Structure formats: C-alpha cells, structure tokens
Structure 1
C-alpha cells in the first residue's frame, strides 16, 4: 500500500491563505456592485407600494362615483314621490290627510337636500383623490425611470462580474474541501468577526497585516518556521510569513486570470 501523504502545517497555512485570497477576490467583486442590489430592491419595493396605492385610490374613486350615482337615484326617487304626494294633496278630503302628505313631501325634500350635500362632499373627495392620483403617477413615473437606470447599471456590472464570481465561489468550495473542517470553521468565524473579512494575513513590517500591533521577533521566527498555526493575540487573525504570502499570491494570480477569461 502506498503511504498516505501527511499534510504539514505549512500545507495547511498555504491552503488557508489561498482560500483567503479567493474569498477576498469575491469580496472585491461584490464591493464593485456596492449598494446597487439593495438600491434596486428598495426601488422595486417603492414602485410596488406606489402601484398598490394607485390601485386603492382608483378603487376609492370608483366607489365614490357609485355613491354619487346612488344619491342621484335617491334624489330622482324623492322627486317622484314629491310629485306623487303633491298630486294626492289635491284629492284629499280632510286636513289630517293633507298634513300627513305635507310631512311626506317635507321629508322627501330633506332627503334631497341631504343627498345633494353628500354629492357635494363626494365631489370634493373626488377632486382631492384625483390630485393625489396625479401626484402619485408623476412620482411613480420618476421612480420607475430611476429603477430602470439603476437596474441597467446593476445588469451591466453583473454581466461583467457574475461569471468570475461563480467560478471563484466554486474554487472557494474546492479549496475548503482540502482543509480540515475544524480549520475551515475557525477561518469562517474569524472572517465574520474582523474588518474586511481578512482572517489570514501576512506579517507586514513586523506587525499583523491590517494591524498596528507589533509582533515580537520570537513569534515572527515561529511564524516563518511554519511549524504551527499562530494567531494574532489582538485580532485573532491567522498569521503567515511574507515569503509564503508572496508565493501564494503569485500562484493565485494565475488562477484569477484563468477564471476571469
């Protein structure tokens, strides 16, 4: 049987730094998109909300128009009844019947007045809602144009970067599989807790990459020896020596050129 190749600490450090370089590249691509996807989503929600509002306002108008029709019908019915009661008054035999019909006429006249008052109020509501509808339509058109512009920007950026991002995410998954789960979990935890998502950094000018805290010379020597995984006591980041970092950057540049084609 062939002897299984043992994975050294150096191999693990290289694999982790490679994974970091790939994930950082994905972060860069997403930073290019910036807030655009969120802006587009917000605009889509705003446009949908305005369309819903327009629909409600239009339904309200239809409902008010229907109410006006009902009141106009009521007025016509009341006028018909007034005519009927007035004709009947000419044929009554006593004052009691006459007074009773007079009260009916008076009631129908009050009904007409009330209906006319309601119609006036309804027309004022129509005027107000129509103004709101026009204003909403203008704002909707402006928002739709803005959405179209932002969606165009996003589509353009996606067309340029989506293929590369997908390829890089595949590579990220592939590299993860070559690293033991414990280390991958630690890497992801650190990455989610630190600025810029940098979980694995080289020592730069005697300090942890992205940090101002100096690393003692003894620790720097241990990092350069690549015999154990060492983390920065201030940030928790995994540290690699500058030479290893440079070698892996050159190697990964070739990968990035390949996936961006």
Structure 2
C-alpha cells in the first residue's frame, strides 16, 4: 500500500509539472506576440481619430465656403440697393427724402464692408484649416503605413504560432483532467498569484526555482522522496526535485517537437 501511495504522489507531481511545462510554453508563445495586438489596436484607434478629424475639418471648410457665398450674395444685394437708392435720390422732392436715402446708402455700404471683412476672416480660417488638413494627412499616412507594418508582423506571428498554441491548449485541458480538481485549483491559484506564471518549480541550488530562499536539507530530502506534495513556504509554489523535472522536460520537449 505504501508503494502505491508513493507512486500516486509521484504521478501527481509529474502530471502537475507536465501541465506547468505546457502552460509555460503557451506563455512563451503569447510573450512572442507581446504588446503587438495592443499596438495594432492603438494604431487603429489613432487612424480612426485622424480620419474623424479630417472629416470635421472638411465639413468646417464646406460651411465656411457656404458662408462666403452667402456674404457675396449680401454684397450683390447691397450694391443693387445702393444703385436703387442713388437713382431715387435724383428724383427726391425734399432734403428729408434725400437724407433718408443717403442713410440707406451708407447702411448698405457698411453692410458691404462687414460682409467683405467676414469673407476675409472666413478665407483665413479656410487657409489655416487646409494647412492643418495637410499636416493631418501626412500624419495619417505615417500612421497607416505603421499600422500596415504592425498588422503584417502580427499576422506572421499568428500564422507561425496559432496552430501550436491551439494544440497546447488542448493538451493543457487534457492534462488537467488527469489531475484531481483540488490540485488543479491550487495550481491555477498559485499560477495567477505569481508574476511569471510558474506554479510548479524544481529545486535549484538548494532553493525553489527563481527564489533565493534556501530550502532546509530535510525538506529537500522530502521533496526528492516524492511521498507528498510540498510547497515553498515563501512563494507558495509546488516543489519538485531536479531529477523529476529533467525527466519531464525531456519528455515534453519531444511532444512539443511534434506539434
């Protein structure tokens, strides 16, 4: 019965370490992609924002052009009225009528001056907006070119790694089913709590992998005995002996090579 118990614990440790190696391989693949998906998303947002800005400036120019046309009509109407009032002044019966028409002419002249001032301002605004549009188009061209490059880069990486990642995720799910739920939950909890996702680590130079805290010799002996599952008191990681780790790495590398 003792031997059976020892073998069962060892099998659990091997299965847990295999699962760790698979999940670490998935992590490596995702790290290769790194920040690329986020970079692509940010660039897409920037391109969309610049296009929206261009649309707004073009709409503003259309509005200003319409305003200029309206002011030109105002000027033409004012000139027509000035001509009309000037003709009427020739046939006035008294100074009062002449003075009234003179005021009307002066008012229309002011209307022309104001309209011309507005036209000048609108044209200056259009000129400024066209400058900004040209700058924005240049920036948009750069961003679109950069986005295309990053998309191609991401697609190449996805093409290279997507198939392997899918196969590894299937293996991960398969290996999880071979381990009791209690241990899988513990493994996932530890994995989520540690920075590098390593929940199961071998003892290296008398300490847990990636740690500087020395494990007492007695505990190291217990780990090597594979009679119970032992966790590191500092990091909470599940510990395996170096020999077991090496054996499982060799086994899993052969499996990865076939994917």
Q: How many residue pairs were aligned?
A: 255
Higher mean C-alpha displacement, 64-73 vs 182-191: 182-191
For 1:127 and 1:71, the matched residues in 2 are separated by 18
Please, which runs of 5 or more residues in structure 1 have no aligned partner? none
Secondary structure of 2:196's aligned partner: helix
- 1:23 and 2:23 matched: yes
Shift of 1:201: 0.2
Aligned residue for 1:83?
Answer: 83
For 1:248 and 1:49, the matched residues in 2 are separated by 51
Shift of 1:109: 0.8
Aligned residue for 2:199?
Answer: 199
Aligned CA RMSD, in angstroms, stands at: 1.7
Aligned residue for 2:158?
Answer: 158
Tell me which stretches of 4 or more aligned residues in structure 1 moved more than 4 Å: none
Shift of 1:256: 0.7
Shift of 1:208: 0.4
TM-score (norm: length of structure 1): 0.92
For 2:179 and 2:13, the matched residues in 1 are separated by 10
Aligned residue for 2:59?
Answer: 59
Please, which runs of 5 or more residues in structure 2 have no aligned partner? none
> Deviation string for 1:130-181 (max 9, x for gaps)?
0110111111111111111121111111111111011111211222222233
For 1:136 and 1:207, the matched residues in 2 are separated by 57
- 1:119 and 2:119 matched: yes
For 1:55 and 1:152, the matched residues in 2 are separated by 28
For 1:112 and 1:177, the matched residues in 2 are separated by 86
State how 1:176-195 maps to structure 2 within 5 Å. 176-195=176-195
Secondary structure of 1:235's aligned partner: coil
Aligned residue for 2:10?
Answer: 10
Shift of 1:252: 1.2
Secondary structure of 1:201's aligned partner: strand
For 2:72 and 2:9, the matched residues in 1 are separated by 90
For 1:52 and 1:183, the matched residues in 2 are separated by 52
Higher mean C-alpha displacement, 31-40 vs 127-136: 31-40
- 1:47 and 2:47 matched: yes
Aligned residue for 2:214?
Answer: 214
Higher mean C-alpha displacement, 136-145 vs 83-92: 83-92
Shift of 1:195: 2.8
For 2:177 and 2:188, the matched residues in 1 are separated by 14
For 1:243 and 1:35, the matched residues in 2 are separated by 36
For 1:102 and 1:257, the matched residues in 2 are separated by 99
For 2:77 and 2:182, the matched residues in 1 are separated by 85
Higher mean C-alpha displacement, 151-160 vs 121-130: 151-160
Higher mean C-alpha displacement, 107-116 vs 248-257: 248-257
